Structure 1
C-alpha cells in the first residue's frame, strides 16, 4: 500500500473543510498554508486527538474512528508546539515517558544516540527545568522519536530554534525517518525547510 493516510474530505468545527488528500507511507511530507487554514488541526485529526464531523480519515486502509485510540497514537505520534517535560533530569524524563508506555527504560547509550540525532548533546544528569525553550523542544523531540513510531507528526518543530540548529535537526530527522521506513509529516511556515527536505508538499488554503 502506497499511502499511510487517505483523507476523504473531512470537516471540523463547522469552519474547516479539507480536500481529498493522500499521504505516502514513507518519506517527508510538508504541509503549508496560511494561518487559520487548519494545518495544526489536520495533524490532530490524523492521530485521533480530534475527530472529524464529516468525511473520514483512513490509516493503512482503516478508518481511524474504528481503531483503538491508544494504539493509534503509539504508531502515529504527534509532536506539537507545546513541550511536555517533567521537572527532572534528561535521563529521568526519558524513563518517565517509557514508564508511561509500560516499556523498559532505555539505556544511557540509546538515550545519547537520540539526543545526538536531535542536536541535543546534554548531560543525562542535567535538569530540564532551567533549559531554554529550544533546548527543551529538542529533548522532547528526541524522546518521541526514540519510541520509534511508524508516523511522526510535527507541528512547527523548529519554531524555537536558530537557523543552523533547524538545518541540522531537519537533516538528521529526514535521514533517520527514511532509513527506518517511517513517514514524517511536518507543518512549517519555513519555506526553506520544505524546499530542502520535503519529498512531498501539500498546500492547504482557507476553506479548502
Structure 2
C-alpha cells in the first residue's frame, strides 16, 4: 500500500526502503524522538519529504491531491483537538469538514458504544477526561470511514484494561471491513499481540 524509497526528512528520518502492506495492522515502535510521529505525518502529507519518494497504491504521493488523500488516509494525533460543544457536535464535525453526509443519532450512539464511552450525546465534550477525549476523537475518525487509519499513540491516555478493549475492537473492525491500520504505540504488548507487521524506528532509521 505504502512504499518508501530513499526517503529523507531533515535530520529526523532516513528510510532506505519500507513497505507497509494493505489490509494489515502495522505497529510502529521505537524510542521517544526516533521519528515515529514524523513517519505518520509523511504518510498523511501533513509534511513533505526532502528527497526520495513515497508511493501510495503505486502512485507517488507528490502527484496525489493532499485534501483527497487525507480523506482516504486519516490521521489521529496523540493529543487530538476537542471542540467546544457537545459530544455529538464533536463526532459530527469531522463529517462536516470532509463534506460527507451527516449520520443519525442512532449511528452516533453505536460509535459511543464501540469506543466504550458511556456518555450521552448532549454532554459537554470539554468536561471529558483525557482518555475519554482520546476515545471521542477516535469515534470521530471512525465515522469518516477512511481506507487507512494512521493513529499516533491512540491508547496513551487509557488504562491497561481500556487499552486492551479499544485496540482489540479497532483491530477487529480493521480486518472485518478491509481497512488498513498503521499505529504508533509505546506498548510492546500491543505491538506483539495485535501487529501483523511491526516496524521499529531507531534514530530515524528502520530496524528490521
Pairwise same-fold verdict (TM > 0.5): yes
Matched ranges for 1:81-100 at <5 A = 81-100=78-97
Say if 2:5 is the partner of 1:5: no
* Selected match of 2:179 from 148, 163, 182: 182
Tell me, yes or no, if the aligned pair for 2:12 and 2:34 is still in contact at 8 Å. no
**What is the Cα deviation at residue 207 of structure 1?**
4.1
**What is the Cα deviation at residue 115 of structure 1?**
1.7
* Selected match of 1:78 from 75, 80, 97: 75
**What is the Cα deviation at residue 87 of structure 1?**
1.1
Say if 2:40 is the partner of 1:43: yes
Gaps of 5+ in 2: none
Tell me, yes or no, if the aligned pair for 1:74 and 1:149 is still in contact at 8 Å. yes
**Secondary structure of the structure 1 residue equivalent to 2:131:** helix
- CA RMSD in angstroms, aligned pairs only: 1.1
**What is the Cα deviation at residue 19 of structure 1?**
3.0
User: Does the C-alpha gap of structure 1 residues 132 and 207 become closer, same or farther in structure 2, counting only changes over 3 Å?
Assistant: closer
Matched ranges for 1:93-132 at <5 A = 93-132=90-129
Ranges of 4+ aligned residues in structure 1 off by more than 4 Å: none
Moved more, 109-118 or 177-186: 109-118
- Structure 2 length-normalised TM: 0.95
**Secondary structure of the structure 1 residue equivalent to 2:183:** strand
Tell me, yes or no, if the aligned pair for 2:3 and 2:56 is still in contact at 8 Å. yes
* Selected match of 2:203 from 199, 203, 206: 206
- Structure 1 length-normalised TM: 0.95
**Secondary structure of the structure 2 residue equivalent to 1:19:** strand
Structure 1: distance between partners of 2:29 and 2:16: 14
Count of matched residue pairs: 205
* Selected match of 1:19 from 6, 16, 19: 16
Gaps of 5+ in 1: none
